[in-house]
Amino acid sequence: MELHAAQFPFLSLLLLICIAGLALVLILPAKSNAAVKWVSAVCSGAALAVSVFLFAAYDRAAGGMQFVEQVEWIPSLGITYLNGIDGFGAPMLLLTGIVFFTGVLSMWELDYRVKEFFALFILLVTGVYGMFMALDLFFIFVWFDVSLLPMYLLIVIWGSSAREYGAMKLTLYLLFGSALILPGIIYLVSSSGLATFSIPELVQNARFSDFQQKIAFLLFYIGFGILAGVWPFHTWSPPGHVAAPTAVSMLHAGVLMKIGAFGILRVGMFLCPQGWIYWSPLMAALATIGIVYGVMVGLRQTDLKFVIGYSSVSHMGIVGLGFATMTVDGINGAVFQMFAHGIMTALFFSAVGHFYDRTHTREIGELGGLSRVMPAASGYFIIAALAGIGVPCLASFWAELLVFIGAFRSYPALAFISVSVLVVNALFMLRVVQKTCFGPVNERWANLGDMTFSMGFPRAVLAAAIVGFGLMPFLMYDVIQTAAVPLINGLSTLADQADADSVNTILSGLTSRLP
Amino acid sequence: MFADPVPIVSLYLAWSAALIPLAAFGVIMVFLRRVPRAAAGVSLCSIALSLIFAVSLLVRHWHMEGPLESTVAWMVSGDFEIPVGVLLDPLSLVMLVTVAFIAFAVQLYSLGYMAGDPGYARYFGFMSLFAWAMISLVLAPNILQLFIFWELVGLSSYLLIGFWYEKFSASRAGKKAFVMTRAGDTLFFWGWLILLVWGGTLSILDLNNSAHDLSGAMVTVSALLVFGGIIGKSAQFPLMTWLPDAMEGPTPVSALLHSATMVAAGVFLFGRLFPFFSQSDVVMTVCLSVGTISMLMSATMAMVSRDIKQVWAYSTISQLGFMIMALGAGGYAAGIFHLTTHAGFKALLFLCAGVLIHAYETNDMFEIGRAGGRRMKLAVLCMTAGALALSGIWPFSGFFSKEEIMGVLAAADNPVWLICGLAGVFLTAYYSFRLIFVILLPGTMAPGAVKDMHARSYGDLLIYIVLVMLTALTLVLGFFAESFHEALGISGAAPEGAHAFSWVHVVSPVLAVAGIVTAWAEFGRKSSQGTGFAERIGPVGRLFSSRWYLDYLYARIADRLLDRGVAEGCRKNENHVIEGIIGMINGSVIRAGRMAAGWHQAMIQTKLMALFAVVFGLILILLVV
């Protein structure tokens, strides 16, 4: 793993922007709602700008870890403040930036405890940003928890139906996850004998036995997998989505579930490749079950947010399937799917949030004909639904395409099953679209207003991202590739030497092949 | 056979032909939603440019030596590249011109037909999207690009069929079209995954020239899976029922859908991969049977329908069945030629029906006939010309392509196909002229003002110009059969022996005329009852008019098996089993907590007891040690 030191600490700047925004929101007097909103908007706009810059400035030819910053934090414990992004981190930062910005703008009409809401929201995003850039296991764990805990308050205070239940379930599940991750981290670090938490150093120098890798990978897979909505640990996610307010649902489905998948990738696959190889059939099976199951359960739901929640389970299953394939195509597709799904669900929840604000119901049976009354809102809803179906030239198509190709190379039968779910998926999405947006106008909604420009703007940004990356997928794949190819090359070296008796040779083979 | 690169000028022409409609779509959807006239103008100009480029490409490459191909990598993932490019050969050039021409004619017609619709701008935006998708599909040099645009064609059909989204039936028809074609697309997806991963190539030329790593059995399997996609797209048995419902969209959309775009894509793909399909006899036989079944089944449905658009929709399935029969029997040129001529006269038929439906505000042919439909002379005349072409009467274009197909079927080993084909010819003529006679010679006709739209306004004038243009095309296209064959000859297809003049070419026109006469006897005569021979036998008529109960079957499957079966089972599992397990874990944690809390109760007796027990035990241990 090659580390390219940063000329300027852009990653810390990103965190600082968030922390400054948070501090400013906290300083402002409690009544100044407008000022709080503007501060949050400017903060998120600046964060988005830096994220876009980092994504664009990431050197595709050089690859490896870039913008690396390193400061000794607690030398006695081997904890360093070590940040950096590779081809997996850069798209995730971009995703976070987009969802953060559009999420803040989507909550522009909030008028209850505004200051507290935006303070918690920014805190949550800070944790997410930190998680995507941290290269030190200790910091990964800290950021992971920072991004989880505000969620509880955000749902309990500003949520809707069954919010106490949803929030409690979500928090308990996710804390259970982190209760598995922490032992995993401590186990790995202590058995490495290196007294360091730094991932690059562990990848380079640690010699983990097969057994150690299998145990640790399983802990990480379940711990992070709970957050990634891996079947059968997904049941926290749909009620959580339903209970959360719009922007929190967007962030939750758009970014938080990606943290889980990213954790599996960054911690599990980088540190425990043998464990990854060993457990991949299990991952593939669970992912395929999730893909089928999410769609099937979603088919019977009547609440719009439950529908999207279960479709998320299905779409995150595609990410899991991509990871399990252990092919470049699979990893590329999975990471792109993380990005595409994040944008897509954010748009979905954003549009549904607008419906709910206006009609105060999310029951599919009560809606209908919204295209006539709210052409813009339902237009965005339809774009999100089409992206969910996997229509070509929208971002998620390319992700699914590569995952299925990768899956077909490794697990043809599972690939056949997942591909055939596409029909049910189309039926399921189009049925929801038909019942909410199409058909005669329901009298009750006939006088409701559409989005104003300011409300439409964040949705337009999300839709533009879906269509833009859908038409030009190479923009994303050029970046993801730079990390996926070395990862898989290392793995194939490992597989070639699978019979070698010494684990040391295997791992040195892995590290030498990394650029 | 290695493909030469496309000359740079042609490359630009081809790319522009494909991309200009996309640009028009983007401009209309983003900027011109509220400016309907400008939107229509942009859309029409873009498709006109595409048509000009398409025609100039055809002229430039009229006598090409071999296929020309140029690709660039659009996206790279590891060692896997997704290329986009253009493949120019006679098939793609002919299709390109057909698509651009029909799309242009339909958009011109829509200027008047859709005038005043609140979604005018959106309509033209979707039309441009459709044009882009279909043109790029036609030019695709590899299966993946073809598949991408194949899906986009499906998407545009979904959007256009459900264009009047407030009508419940329209949005449902759009959904049905998308989901049913998607079912076929899943098979297609499987098929090309096999081609890519096990066959090692997706290039159309490679596949056609056997430059792949598949064994004979895998060729059969993958070709059958790809054919599954064709079944869905071209509405063949058993995925045929979405097409009749698709007429819920505006009539010009049906015209486009049924002639050169959506359903034509399926047959086009068959033509595109014809040499690959021919590598397996099993596949060709399956294609031949599916084509035959669809052709006959939908002809029977058309015999009893009262809805004009529905009759033409069934006839589309039937004609596509003919094309697939021709291709399945090895008649490459015959099938593709029929695809081309059919595009012309089917667009004509739908557009004429649109004029009648617009004027009388009903789809029922009997009502139109009684209301005096024949007074709209030009429309009825053009429709009769279209029906003559559909029935295969000389000198209309359908005659030439249908005779070729009959020639191919006559050359096949098994006479069953020929007999079915001839039956199809009779039925086609019968149901087409049933419709014509019902409108032309109604028993009674309401007196009333002449409801003629001849050039009442500028838009109507455009409508009639388009009708006359298509009628003229129907009249002359047949005489280009020879040059068409010459052009298609180099496509690497199996050479067809020149068909000797056989008895088939006498029997088939006679049967067509017999069909027309039967229709006249039952619907045209003064003393006729106005019921067909199929309707007189109750159960048969019911079977035909309820589409052989296929829809009923699919609704049952979707409802019982999927919704109330698997999906409900999963939901129950989610709410009871998984939640139940979580509840049990929860409960046991709480019970454990209670138990632990119980130890801390302020009951001094139990604590003292415990204390004594511990102390006693310790003493015991100490003593023993």
pLDDT, tens digit, 9 for 90 and up, residues A169-193: 888 888 888 899 999 999 988 888 8
pLDDT category at B447 given cuts 50, 70, 90 is low
Closest CA to B254 of B372, B370, B324, B358: B358
Contact criterion met (CB below 8 Å) for A107 and A154: no
CB pair distance less than 8 Å for B567 and A297: yes
CA distance A228 to A233: 9
pLDDT of residue A125: 93
Residues 413-432 of A with CB under 8 A from B: 415-416, 419-420, 422-424, 426-427, 430-431
- Residue tagged 């996609």 (tokens): B229
Given a cut of 60, is residue A506 above it in pLDDT? no
Q: Which helix (H) or strand (E) holds B21?
A: helix B8-30
Sign of CA dihedral B233, B235, B240, B244: positive
Tens-place pLDDT, residues B573-585: 888 888 888 888 8
A473 in B contact zone (CB under 8 Å)? yes
The Cα of B52 is separated from the nearest Cα of chain A by a number of Å equal to 26
Tens-place pLDDT, residues A331-368: 999 999 999 999 999 998 988 888 888 888 888 888 87
Tens-place pLDDT, residues A42-61: 999 999 999 999 999 998 88
Distances (CA, A) of A453 to A36, A106, A372, A377, A467: 21, 12, 18, 11, 20
pTM: 0.89
CA distance A27 to A29: 6
Which among A230, A289, A299 is the top mutation candidate for probing chain B, defined by the most B β-carbons within 10 Å of its own β-carbon? A299
pLDDT of residue B450: 52
Contact criterion met (CB below 8 Å) for B279 and B313: no
Q: Show residues of chain B in contact with A431, CB under 8 Å.
A: 175
Contact criterion met (CB below 8 Å) for A97 and A78: no
| Average confidence (pLDDT) over A459-478 | 91
Better pLDDT: B305 or B614: B614
Better pLDDT: A335 or A454: A335
Better pLDDT: B598 or B613: B613
CA distance A335 to A316: 11
Better pLDDT: B140 or B506: B140
Most confident of A160-164, A335-339, B346-350: A335-339
pLDDT of residue B497: 47
Residue of B nearest to A430 (CA): B175
B554 in A contact zone (CB under 8 Å)? no
- Residue tagged 């959580």 (tokens): A240
Q: For chain B, give the longest Cα–Cα distance.
A: 124
HEC readout, B174-218? HHHHHHHHHHHHHHHHHHHHHHHHCCCCCEHHHHHCCCCCCCHHH
pLDDT of residue B114: 83
User: How many residues appear in chain A?
Assistant: 515
Q: Which helix (H) or strand (E) holds A213?
A: helix A210-227
pLDDT of residue B134: 92
Pairing of strands A65-74, A3-5: parallel
Report percent pLDDT > 90 for chain B. 11
The Cα of B79 is separated from the nearest Cα of chain A by a number of Å equal to 8
Q: Show residues of chain B in contact with A439, CB under 8 Å.
A: 165-166, 168, 171
pLDDT of residue B449: 53
Q: Taking all residues of chain B, what is their mean pLDDT, rounded to a whole number?
A: 83
Distances (CA, A) of A352 to A362, A374, A381, B230: 8, 12, 7, 36
Looking at A489-498, B29-38, B485-494, which range is the least confident one?
Answer: B485-494
Tens-place pLDDT, residues A75-120: 888 899 999 999 899 999 999 999 999 999 888 888 888 888 999 9
Which among B27, B30, B77 is the top mutation candidate for probing chain A, defined by the most A β-carbons within 10 Å of its own β-carbon? B77
Q: Taking all residues of chain A, what is their mean pLDDT, rounded to a whole number?
A: 87
CA distance B533 to B522: 8
Beta-carbon contacts of A158 under 8 Å, excluding residues fewer than 6 positions away, are A110, A112, A113, A117, A244, A245, A248
Residues 357-376 of A with CB under 8 A from B: 369, 371-372
ipTM of the complex: 0.89
Which among A175, A401, A450 is the top mutation candidate for probing chain B, defined by the most B β-carbons within 10 Å of its own β-carbon? A401
Cis-peptide, bond into residue B238, ω within 30° of zero: yes
pLDDT of residue B5: 81
A156: its two tokens? 């309990």
pLDDT of residue A505: 38
CB pair distance less than 8 Å for B190 and A419: yes
Q: Show residues of chain B in contact with A332, CB under 8 Å.
A: 77-78
B182 in A contact zone (CB under 8 Å)? yes
Q: Show residues of chain B in contact with A404, CB under 8 Å.
A: 189, 193
A251: its two tokens? 């962030």
Q: Show residues of chain B in contact with A397, CB under 8 Å.
A: 148, 151
Q: How many CB pairs under 8 A join A and B?
A: 130
CA distance A487 to A513: 9
